[in-house]
Amino acid sequence: MLDENVTFNLFEAKHHPYEKKQCFWVNVIDEMVGSTMSLDEKEEKKVEEYLLHLEGQIVEQSIKLEIRRQKWMRKEKNKVELKQLPSHLKYIFLKEDYDKPIIISKSLSKLEKGKASEKLNGE
């Protein structure tokens, strides 16, 4: 036993039938599942209602995604390329869209910046 080599060829083992008589019947399982899955009219209507509800949610979600995509596309379209300013100037933006930059002096106080922003925004 110590000097013996045993070699298993897995590819050949797959080709030979099992020694024990075994039966593999998938179609029997399919029939059993089919008989338990048969629905009466009331159950079928409930399933259809659920499916319609789910389809409605999918449509609603796709509409929301399309709206988000359009908003994002508008923001991307409106983005302004800012150039490097001299050290004594800086950008402020009208509204919150960051698509309307205004150049002001860095030496302005917060109050002056606020007033300038309000005046330019028309508030």
Q: How many domains does the chain have?
A: 1
Give the H or E element holding residue 59: helix 41-78
Low-confidence spans in the chain with pLDDT less than 70: 1-2, 10-29, 32, 35-36, 78, 95-99, 122-123
Pick from 120, 88, 114: nearest CA to 101? 120
Place of tokens 């298993």: 8
Range of the domain at 77: 26-121
Whether 60 is covered by a domain: the verdict is yes
Whether 115 is covered by a domain: the verdict is yes
Structure confidence at residue 51 (pLDDT):
81
Structure confidence at residue 95 (pLDDT):
67
Structure confidence at residue 23 (pLDDT):
61
Whether 21 is covered by a domain: the verdict is no
> Residues 104, 89: contact at Cβ < 8 Å?
yes
Structure confidence at residue 15 (pLDDT):
57
Structure confidence at residue 48 (pLDDT):
83
Contacts of 78 (CB under 8 A, 6+ apart): 97, 99
